[in-house]
Structure 1
């Protein structure tokens, strides 16, 4: 989801950003937010710290969430800095806050839906960008609302989560993005 947010930002932003910078940021983010987590998963699976990709228990979620916090911190320090692209910087700060909140919930034995956290955070980022840049992306927001509903329905259908876990995931993803709005809007 972070890479989708960054692609959307570069596509919709009225600011001029050189194409080389866009490509470098996208490649770097793809490596750190897609490839590295996959490699870390296989490492954790080999070490016996996780049983499956589904992270069915709250105990299994703790180490991957801690590692994800470190990955997001690296992104914030090396790739998306506030002096370059402030909107994306605070998007990733929101992701970090959501990840830390999910980790805290896991420590208290509550399994919030990480799927809902990511899709609701992305939805809120899109909505805030629409206001910030005064652009009409109602179609995108409607599509994101449908995707959020589909994600929630699929998680319920697979018995991966209950309603409380889905609702909590939605709030954990959206609230940090809303809280950070005054810092960049």
Structure 2
């Protein structure tokens, strides 16, 4: 989801950015947010720390969330420092806040929906970016609403989460993004 948010930002932002900068940021982010987590998952599976990719228990989520937090810290300080792309810097700080909140809940044996945290965080970022730059993204907003509904329905249908866990996921995805928008300016 962060890669989708960054691609969206680069496609909708009215700022001029050199193509080399965009490509280097996308490649770095792709390696850190897609390739590295897949490799870490296989390492955790080999070590017996993760049974499946679904991370069904709250205990099973703790180590992957810690690793993801460290990856996000690298992204925040090395890929999107505040001096370059302020909106993306604070987007990733909000993602880190969501991840740490989910980690704290996992330590307390509560299993918030990481799927909804991710999609709602990206949806909130899209909305805030649209408001900030006064751009019309009605189609994207409609698509994201359908996506949030489909993910929520599937999580309930599969009995992976309760309604409370879904609402907590929605809140943890949106609230940090709303807080961080104040630092964009």
TM category (shorter chain) comes to: over 0.9
Residue of structure 1 in register with 2:8 after alignment: 8
Residue of structure 2 in register with 1:104 after alignment: 104
**Distance between the aligned counterparts of 1:173 and 1:144, measured in 2?**
13
**Distance between the aligned counterparts of 1:176 and 1:33, measured in 2?**
19
Segments of 4+ moved more than 2 angstroms: none
Deviation at 1:77, TM superposition (A): 1.1
**Distance between the aligned counterparts of 1:152 and 1:113, measured in 2?**
9
**Distance between the aligned counterparts of 2:141 and 2:129, measured in 1?**
11
Deviation at 1:108, TM superposition (A): 0.5
Residue of structure 1 in register with 2:125 after alignment: 125
**Distance between the aligned counterparts of 2:64 and 2:6, measured in 1?**
22
**Distance between the aligned counterparts of 1:183 and 1:79, measured in 2?**
18
The answer to whether structure 1 residue 64 and structure 2 residue 64 are counterparts is yes
The answer to whether structure 1 residue 46 and structure 2 residue 22 are counterparts is no
Deviations 1:67-87 (A, max 9, x none): 000000000111001110000
**Distance between the aligned counterparts of 1:180 and 1:74, measured in 2?**
18
Deviation at 1:139, TM superposition (A): 1.2
The gaps in structure 2 that reach 5 residues or longer are none
Deviations 1:56-97 (A, max 9, x none): 000000000000000000001110011100000000000000
Residue of structure 2 in register with 1:158 after alignment: 158
The gaps in structure 1 that reach 5 residues or longer are none
Residue of structure 1 in register with 2:175 after alignment: 175
